Chain A
Amino acid sequence: MRNRLAIIAGGLAAAVVIAAPAFAQKQGGTLRVSHRDNPPSASVHEEATISVNMPFMSVFNNLVFFDPKEKINSPDKIVPELAESWSWNADKTKLTFKLRSGVKWHDGKPFSSKDVKCTWDALSGIDEKQEMIRKNPRKVWYKNVKEITTNGDNEVTFTLAREQPSFLSMLAAGYSPVYPCHVDSRTMRSKPIGTGPFKVADFKRNEAIKLVRNPDYWKKDRPYLDAIEFKIVPNRSTRVLGFVAGEYDLTFDSDITFPLLKDVKAQKADAICEARPTNVHTNLLINRDAPPFDNPKLREALVYSLDRKPFSDILSQGNDLRGATMLPPPAGVWGMTQDELQKLPGFGPDIEKNREVARGLMKELGYGPDKPLKIKVATRNIAIYRDPAVILIDQLKQIYIEAELEPIDTTIWYNKIQQKNYQVGLNLTGAGLDDPDGVFYENFYSTSDRNYTAYKNPEIDKMIDEQSAMTDLNKRKAMVTKIEQALLKDGARPPIVHGVSNTCWAPAVKNVVLQHNSIYNGWRLEDVWLDK
């Protein structure tokens, strides 16, 4: 008896200790966040920028979600959200979700399997007439979806054309919320309706995005905050000073560069700042369809010309990461290790040796110190693009290329690239999801809407499809490495560095968990609370 009492007492004590942090969480308050610009719209499905994801992700829910408590998004860290559970059929071509019942949209209408069906009918292009989206940048993510069927209000099945292990990961990304069937695309762009922890109260361009607590949220004890206000402050100096002065509790995602971090820490010593990879990498665009870069040897010379260290040293005080197309470990799940990277063309540690290879190729083509190749390096006329372009131009001199910077207005940048009206471009590519299907299909697959360089290589297409269907993780990783090597050899968007930047918050903000392999996920903010 005494033993049993001791066990019960011990159990209770342990329960109190475990539960203590939960009791410590406070309800209420408004989280004030600085936002860098006006989001193009509020519709997550129509856009491809963190300017939309960060403020509007908490308005929605997904079927499944990368565990918000984990820093690394990986396929084994997916948790249910609007789906209570999921199961695959025997040949892994049918994925069935059992949906949560009693969930309501912010306008009071009930959520059902029909909403899931019409969202992915629109996204996959099965039903082009769906009114819920006007633009569809990630259509290629769902190219393998054959059919979506419902079974009552609480069950939905995705039928795939073939096995695709990454499919669940794509559904778990911040870019994959469920939209309501009954709301038109214009409303979704201006004052969207979701099932998420926060409702949109107001979205005023150049002023603020105001979100308020959803009192009918299906997770009964969430969210903790009463409201979130994203103040739109386009001037970075003003944003940083505002954070230092206590006007904002949280900075915009990755807004604090390493040089700025020193200032922030000096003026606000108690600020909590976390550095993480942005999964946005700087790369080269090489126009392979026009002379002189239609010559593979010239493209190869460019690949061998790069010294990545100065890029990292100058742009981020040495914090940017060396990697190929996929984000390198430890944050990246699929990228190559530094040892593996060294075997790639142009990644060897002896830069002079690499450049000797490049110079050899240039000489073979008739160029040399007395007869340099004159080109233009086009880039968007924004500092984050221009700065690495200037470093690149300096490095190209080492291999007999005299380059001139061609800054292009952002509004015509993609047009110029699509029309192949450039020789070499300096570009930044962000990955919404640290997953080979997301990255390769979007950027390199010949039929992708987002493959704006119109890169076409049937061999690569085949390899991308092949890895996409692989269920053995190790074999798939090996295939991903093979694709990365092939892309680099072919001079397809040779990567330079993967960006790393800082996000800061005031000590009163609790439970912020930044996800380290995609800035686009993890902004549900339902677990964040204020200790004020």
Chain B
Amino acid sequence: MGAYLTRRVLLMVLTLFGMSVLIFVMLRLVPGNIADILVDSAGIADPKEKAKIAAELGLDRPIFDQYLQWIGGLARGDLGFAYVSERPALEEIAPRIPISAKLAGLALFYSVILGLPLGVISAVRQNSAIDYLLRLISLSGLSLPSFWLGLLILMASVQWFGMIPIYTNEPRSFIDEMLLLSIPAAAVGFRSSALIMRLTRSSMLEVLRQDYIRTARSKGASQTTVNYVHALRNALLPVVTIIGIEAAFLVGGLIVTETVFNIPGVARFLVEAILWRDYPIVQNLVMLIAFCVVVVNFLVDMAYMALDPRIKYAD
């Protein structure tokens, strides 16, 4: 197990290194850089102005030097300077991470807390009215884009309650913040909960037909024990995989939800930074996301072991 963990950690480092090279090169392959954008935004046609800004930001140096400077800084915890705001990138990124992390965490919490039990209910009550209703809801969850759902929620709030649940001022307490984030989190989490529900349902249906379930029933175990102790645990493996994947995909959902609900999180900031070709911000944020995805994948693999004792990671 120890050797396996070492291999995994090394693989994670290698993946992150590959990611750093990829994002660095890809950003520079995309046409236009910050000097173009800054000068163009003022409608100036003079190439000398662009060259001056590019030199000031070090964009005229060889790409390998630029990469070494960035990766060296990253290793030392120095994320460089944001091109647009001209402030340290860390100062720009750090306050936004907790906001998005809370939103993503809450959305994931919603998806699991709704998706799992409803999936079980739907499987256990297969082809009943409640199953049809839950399948309809899950289908709508998969079909409704989160930005559209978000806008509908905003319109309904304004129309019926005369208020708009958007992020206007910094919340005064943690509870306030959770309340404020709960609506956008529901908008983002709805899709994931629908996916988890459908997968839980199909996985449960498969498990419920297994011999050991029949054995548990014949031994007199209650329906709840059969469903939640014997069946659900065994049905969870594919669901855990999908939760891991969804956690990574949440970033995409966060971008639109943060925009619609005006949340000053990291996802919206990333899009803005891409549009401005603000390399230090984009590179560091993508690395952060890559790190999160790699860690979540690792945790998912560990969860397999906890859920199914037959799974062993050989040294």
On A, residues with C-beta under 8 Å from B are: 38, 40-41, 46-49, 134-137, 186, 189-190, 204-207, 231, 233-235, 237-238, 241-242, 244-247, 267, 409-415, 418, 448-452, 454
Contact = CB atoms under 8 A, between A and B. Distances in A.
A409 B262 contact: no
B145 interface: no
Given A186-B86, A190-B86, A245-B162, A411 B272 contact: no
Interface string B17-36: 00000000000000110001
Contacts of A41: 84
Which 6 residue pairs spanning A and B have beta carbons closest together? A411-B32, A414-B40, A452-B45, A245-B164, A137-B42, A207-B264
Contacts of B159: 267
Contacts of B85: 190, 205
Given A205-B85, A412-B36, A247 B31 contact: no
Contacts of B39: 135, 414
Nearest to A413: B40
A411 B36 CA distance: 7
B37 interface: yes
Given A204-B264, A411-B36, A47 B42 contact: yes
Interface stretch (B1-9, B150-158, B210-218): B150-158
Contacts of A411: 31-32, 36-37, 40, 275, 277
Given A411-B32, A411-B36, A415-B36, A238 B166 contact: yes
Contacts of B275: 410-411
B259 A234 contact: yes
B44 interface: yes
Interface string B62-102: 00000000000000000000001111000010001000000
Contacts of A49: 41
A452 B47 CA distance: 11
Interface of B: 31-32, 36-47, 49, 52-53, 56, 84-87, 92, 96, 151, 154-155, 157-159, 162-164, 166, 168, 259-262, 264, 268-269, 272, 275, 277
Contact of A241 (B37, B84, B154, B272): B154
B272 A38 contact: yes
Contact of A190 (B43, B44, B87, B168): B87
A136 B46 CA distance: 10
- For A38, A238, A448, which residue has the most chain B Cβ atoms within 10 angstroms? A238
A241 B164 contact: yes
Contacts of B155: 241
A206 B87 CA distance: 14
A40 B260 contact: no
Contacts of A186: 86
Contacts of A244: 158
Contacts of B154: 237-238, 241
Q: Is the interface of B mostly helix, strand, loop or mixed?
A: helix
Contacts of B162: 245-246
7 contacts: A38-B272, A47-B42, A134-B56, A205-B84, A231-B262, A242-B164, A242-B168
- For B44, B47, B162, B168, which residue has the most chain A Cβ atoms within 10 angstroms? B44
A47 B39 CA distance: 9
B43 A48 contact: yes
Contacts of A47: 41-42
A186 B44 CA distance: 19
A383 to B, nearest CB: 15
B255 to A, nearest CB: 11
Contact of A235 (B47, B157, B260): B260
B22 to A, nearest CB: 21
A235 B263 CA distance: 11
A55 to B, nearest CB: 15
Nearest to B87: A190
A186 B84 CA distance: 11
Contacts of A413: 40
A412 B43 contact: no
Contacts of A135: 38-39, 42, 44, 49, 53
B262 A235 contact: yes
A207 B39 CA distance: 24
Given A241-B158, A411-B32, A412-B36, A48 B168 contact: no
Contacts of A46: 42
Contacts of A241: 154-155, 158, 164
Nearest to B32: A411
Given A47-B42, A137-B42, 18 more contacts: A40-B38, A48-B42, A206-B272, A237-B151, A238-B166, A238-B259, A238-B261, A241-B154, A241-B155, A244-B158, A245-B163, A267-B158, A267-B159, A409-B31, A410-B275, A449-B44, A449-B46, A450-B43
- For B49, B158, B268, B277, which residue has the most chain A Cβ atoms within 10 angstroms? B158
A305 to B, nearest CB: 27
Given A233-B262, A450-B43, A40 B151 contact: no
Given A186-B86, A189-B86, A415 B43 contact: no
A238 B46 CA distance: 37
A520 to B, nearest CB: 13
B280 to A, nearest CB: 14
A410 B40 CA distance: 9
B260 A238 contact: yes
B39 to A, nearest CB: 6
Contacts of B158: 241, 244-245, 267
- For A47, A189, A235, A410, which residue has the most chain B Cβ atoms within 10 angstroms? A235
B52 to A, nearest CB: 8
- For B86, B164, B261, which residue has the most chain A Cβ atoms within 10 angstroms? B164
Contacts of A206: 96, 264, 268-269, 272
Contacts of A450: 43-45
A247 B41 contact: no
Given A137-B43, A190-B85, A414-B45, A247 B53 contact: no
Nearest to B268: A206
Given A48-B42, A205-B85, A234-B259, A412 B31 contact: yes
Contacts of B87: 190
A244 B159 CA distance: 9
A414 B43 contact: yes
Nearest to B266: A206
B1 to A, nearest CB: 44
A126 B63 CA distance: 36
Contacts of B44: 135-137, 449-450, 452
A234 B262 CA distance: 8
A245 B262 CA distance: 15
B201 to A, nearest CB: 35
Contact of B166 (A40, A242, A267, A410): A242
Nearest to B52: A134
Contacts of B157: 245
Contacts of B264: 204, 206-207
A237 B42 CA distance: 27
B5 to A, nearest CB: 39
A48 B41 contact: yes
A238 B262 contact: yes
Contacts of B84: 38, 40-41, 205
A449 B96 CA distance: 38
- For A46, A47, A207, A233, which residue has the most chain B Cβ atoms within 10 angstroms? A207
Contacts of B36: 411-412, 414-415
Given A40-B38, A135-B38, A411-B31, A449 B260 contact: no
